[in-house]
């Protein structure tokens, strides 16, 4: 099956006239190329995206295709003819624009240069030396239609002359009929003579009507060639005929009245004759003149429009020649530039102007090898290890230790504190049936004045029973309350809920295993203020931590992590922070994001988080434990960005299942 690259071809045609032309496909030696099995399709698209299909049929010869285009209104239409390639895809055979000329613009084309067949050169992919010649058997469609239009115009002039003579004869007949009417009125007693004269007039009128009818037949023959023009003419003929009927009938009414005065019998005969004559005259005169007039006017204006078309064609030809010259110059310049590029030899070496040479050896990253310091490994894996070590060191440089102040760690009730590693680790024991509120402060760098570059915090924490841990982040006073129910708020904004840009994170672990889903639900409540007018809000996030191997939560919690991607400000506060749990056990994934957070500014944030508060109500039969450990502060790197946030976001698993926000309503219920 043929596979074409496509060519561009523009042509013209006449408005509202369908046309078709055959195309013969030959190879460069002139031999016919069979089109058996080749599938063609084509369509025309107007400026308003109206699509008209092109009829395509195979001709009698195996290398002939006949393209039939429908009648189109005046304008410029784009078209394309497609052929189906061997792989089933559609390829463009040829495409371009069809300039549809009005009938008033085609006369001059008939006097142009003689028509001759055109040959298009069509390339075929995959065959660099193979080309097809597609020979158009009817090439300049506009010339053919212009010639046809000119001949029709000449015929119209001849028919108009004939119709004019017929109209003159019909007018004379009308005058004769009117004279007969006057004669009948003057000779009332000569009724028989008037009747005879009227009969003669009727005979003459019938003959004249036949001549007019012949002219009408000629015009109708012309209408077969000019359907739209004659349609317009017929409308005008009807209007003119109606007006003429009214005028002539008024005049004949007077003649009929005069005959009536002479004789009732003569009146009837004459009226009948006059009616027949007037009807024939009116029909012949009105139809002939009305039909010929618009044709003559169009023929007279055709020359001016076609002169304009010729000037545009000449301008387009000039522009095409200029474009070809410009393209040739550009191709020459490109060839010169390509020749000036230094060539690379088989060994991968290149010699530049001035004698400089470039060796072909490059490293795996595509760059030129640069010697390293003496002793540094030059292989790729060694270099990558150096890069990784450098990045690890940079990350450590933007982190600082947060020491757990075990001496200041406090509890309520009967809980006991064991310092397993002073200023590092502690264990808090809660007897069965007891409850406690634990406060664990951290010691770390606090070198800011009003602004801080704090970006996140992580610390070691684990509980063996249901528990709730609460943290205050950022600026503003916080009020801590002890020994409340799990649903109560342990920390609330201070100073009677005064507005500030800090926030509070409240994480609740109920330690109840969902046996149907194999995991544990974690609730996060975030307390924050949008504006002083809106007041404090509570965003409640529910997450689910899978534990298919029966790893209890919060027993398997190892670290609680908060990181913020960038500094919050007055216009950007939403979803800047993230809250993660690092868990241990047999899970395939051990880093879960349990909430997205609004984020805080760096104004008066200090070290970000200075302590956590944990509430435990031990309903088990044994002693429950909370394990507290050190933490680490993260700081913004240049540009106020925190790479640690993006790293955790990339490797963590999103465990969030639902989020809901409501106005803050304090819950402060003591444990009884």
381-407: per-residue pLDDT in tens?
666 777 777 887 888 899 999 999 999
Structural domain includes residue 225: yes
Q: Are residues 413 and 264 in the same domain?
A: no
**pLDDT level of residue 20 (50, 70, 90 thresholds):** confident
Indicate whether 457 belongs to any domain. Answer: yes
In a shared domain, residues 35 and 91: yes
Domain identity same for 455 and 581: yes
Whether residue 91 is found in the same domain as residue 162 = no
Query: What's the pLDDT score for residue 622?
Result: 93
pLDDT in tens, 135-188: 655 444 444 544 554 555 455 455 546 545 644 554 564 455 455 545 544 544
Q: Give whichever of 436-450, 567-581, 650-664 has the largest mean pLDDT.
A: 650-664
pLDDT value of position 219 = 39
Say yes or no: 88 and 221 in one domain. no
Question: CA-to-CA distance for 600 and 478, rounded, in angstroms?
Answer: 15
- Cβ atoms of 103 and 302 within 8 Å: the answer is yes
In a domain, 671, yes or no: no
Predicted local confidence at residue 230, as pLDDT: 37
Last residue of a domain, one of 118, 139, 160: 139
101 plus 241 within the same structural domain:
no
Whether residue 548 is contained in a domain is answered as yes
Query: What CATH number is attached to the domain comprising 122?
Result: 2.60.40.10
157 lies in which domain range? 149-324
Domain count, the chain: 3
Residues 402, 403, 405, 406, CA torsion sign:
positive
**pLDDT of amino acid 577:** 94
585-597: average pLDDT: 90
Domain shared by 154 and 238, yes or no: yes
Q: β-strand 519-529 against 503-514: which pairing, if any?
A: antiparallel
Q: Domain check: are 573 and 482 in the same one? A: yes
562, β-bridge pairs: 457, 579
Q: Is the same domain home to 209 and 118?
A: no
Of 292, 324, 356, which marks where a domain is finished?
324
Name the pTM for this structure. Answer: 0.47
Secondary structure (3-state) at 524: strand
Q: Tell which residue, 602, 578, 572, has the closest CA to residue 656.
A: 578
Same domain, yes or no, for 560 and 610? yes
Q: Quote the Cα angle for 632-633-638, to 5°.
A: 135
CATH number at residue 574: 2.60.120
Residues 112 and 240 placed together within one structural domain of the fold: no
Let me know whether 479 and 425 are in one domain. Answer: yes
With respect to residue 156, please indicate whether it lies within any of the assigned structural domains. Answer: yes
Q: What is the pLDDT of residue 501?
A: 86
- Please give the residue that has the higher pLDDT: either 291 or 14: 14
The answer as to whether 393 is a domain residue is no
Whether residue 258 lies inside any domain: the answer is yes
Of 279, 301, 324, the residue that ends a domain is 324
Residue 1 included in any domain: no
């Amino acid at each position: 099956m043929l596979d074409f690259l496509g060519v561009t071809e523009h042509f013209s045609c006449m408005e509202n006239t369908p046309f078709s032309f055959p195309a013969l496909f030959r190879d460069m030696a002139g031999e016919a190329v069979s089109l058996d099995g080749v599938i063609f399709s084509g369509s025309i698209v107007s400026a308003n995206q109206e699509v008209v299909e092109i009829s395509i049929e195979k001709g009698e010869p195996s290398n002939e295709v006949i393209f039939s285009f429908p009648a189109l209104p005046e304008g410029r239409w784009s078209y394309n003819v497609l052929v189906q390639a061997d792989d089933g895809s559609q390829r463009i055979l040829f495409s371009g624009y069809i300039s549809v000329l009005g009938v008033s613009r085609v006369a001059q084309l008939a006097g142009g240069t003689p028509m001759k067949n055109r040959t298009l050169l069509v390339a075929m992919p995959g065959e660099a030396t193979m080309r097809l010649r597609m020979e158009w058997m009817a090439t300049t469609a506009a010339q053919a239609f212009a010639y046809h239009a000119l001949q029709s115009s000449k015929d119209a002039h001849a028919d108009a002359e004939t119709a004019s003579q017929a109209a003159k004869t019909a007018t004379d007949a009308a005058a004769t009929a009117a004279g007969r009417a006057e004669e009948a009125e003057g000779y009332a007693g000569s009724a028989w003579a008037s009747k005879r004269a009227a009969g003669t007039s009727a005979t003459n009128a019938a003959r004249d009507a036949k001549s007019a009818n012949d002219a009408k037949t000629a015009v109708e023959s012309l209408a077969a060639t000019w359907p739209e023009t004659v349609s317009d003419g017929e409308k005008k003929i009807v209007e003119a005929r109606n007006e003429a009927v009214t005028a002539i009938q008024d005049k004949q009414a007077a003649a009929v009245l005069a005959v009536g005065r002479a004789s009732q019998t003569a009146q009837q005969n004459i009226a009948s004759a006059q009616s027949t004559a007037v009807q024939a005259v009116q029909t012949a005169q009105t139809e002939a003149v009305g039909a010929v007039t618009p044709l003559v006017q169009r023929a007279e204006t055709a020359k001016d429009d076609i002169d304009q078309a010729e000037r545009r064609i000449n301008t387009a030809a000039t522009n095409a020649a200029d474009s070809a010259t410009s393209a040739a110059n550009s191709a020459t310049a490109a060839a010169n530039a390509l020749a000036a590029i230094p060539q690379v030899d088989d060994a991968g070496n290149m010699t530049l102007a001035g004698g400089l040479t470039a060796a072909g050896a490059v490293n795996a990253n595509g760059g030129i090898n640069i010697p390293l310091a003496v002793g540094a490994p030059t292989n790729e894996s060694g270099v990558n290890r150096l890069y990784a070590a450098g990045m690890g060191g940079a990350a450590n440089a933007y982190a600082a230790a947060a020491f757990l102040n075990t001496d200041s760690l406090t509890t309520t009730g009967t809980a006991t504190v064991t310092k397993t590693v002073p200023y590092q680790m502690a264990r808090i024991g809660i007897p069965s049936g007891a409850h406690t509120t634990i406060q664990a402060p951290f010691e770390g760098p606090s070198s800011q004045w009003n602004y801080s570059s704090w970006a996140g915090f992580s610390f070691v924490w684990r509980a063996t029973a249901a528990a709730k841990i609460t943290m205050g982040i950022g600026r503003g006073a916080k009020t801590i309350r002890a020994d409340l129910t799990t649903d109560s708020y342990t920390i609330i904004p201070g100073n009677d809920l005064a507005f500030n840009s800090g926030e509070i994170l409240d994480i609740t672990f109920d330690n109840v295993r969902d046996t149907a889903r194999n995991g544990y639900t974690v609730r996060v409540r975030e307390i924050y203020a949008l504006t002083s007018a809106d007041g404090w809000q509570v965003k409640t996030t529910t997450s689910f931590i899978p534990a298919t191997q029966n790893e209890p939560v919060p027993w398997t919690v190892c670290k609680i992590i908060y990181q913020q991607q960038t500094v919050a400000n007055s216009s950007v506060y939403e979803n800047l922070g993230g809250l993660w749990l690092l868990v241990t056990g047999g899970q395939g994934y051990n880093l879960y994001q349990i909430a997205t957070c609004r984020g805080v500014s760096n104004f008066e944030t200090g070290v970000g988080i200075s302590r956590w508060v944990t509430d435990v109500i031990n309903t088990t039969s044994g002693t429950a434990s909370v394990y507290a450990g050190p933490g680490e502060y993260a700081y913004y790197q240049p540009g106020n960005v925190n790479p640690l946030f993006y790293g955790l976001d990339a490797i963590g698993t999103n465990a969030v299942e639902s989020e809901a926000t409501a106005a803050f309503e304090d819950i402060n219920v003591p444990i009884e």
